Amino acid sequence: MDDVSAQGPQSDAHGPDSQGPSSQGPDSQGPGIRDLLTLGGMLVGSIVTGLVIGLLLDSWWDTSPAFVLVGTALGIVAAGTGFWLRVRTFLRG
């Protein structure tokens, strides 16, 4: 038992000098679950927002599918643009 106390604390495999998962920062591992959920919410939110605005304009001006199609198309474009801008930061880092 004297040999153990003379050596000091033993380092484990995930100490500060190791190359294990605990020594890597959160940015070096890519997008986390929080980032992926944010991306999914942004995609769905953009498309649904365009759809709802289109439905409201169609019911207000009594133009059946015109604004639903335009709103959905704009929502898809907004979702794609937002998705690319967010993913680009992960591809650069």
Q: Burial code of 42-51, b = ≥16 C-beta within 10 A, e = fewer? A: bbeebbeebb
Whole-number pLDDT of residue 6: 54
Q: What is the pTM of this model?
A: 0.67
pLDDT 10s digits, 61-90: 999 899 999 999 999 999 999 999 999 998
Asked whether residue 40 is assigned to any structural domain, the reply reads no
Q: Which domain holds residue 61?
A: 51-93
pLDDT at 60 over 80: yes
Amino acid at position 52, single letter:
V
The conformation of residue 8, written as its DSSP 8-state character, comes to: -
Asked whether residue 3 is assigned to any structural domain, the reply reads no
What's the total number of domains in the chain? 1
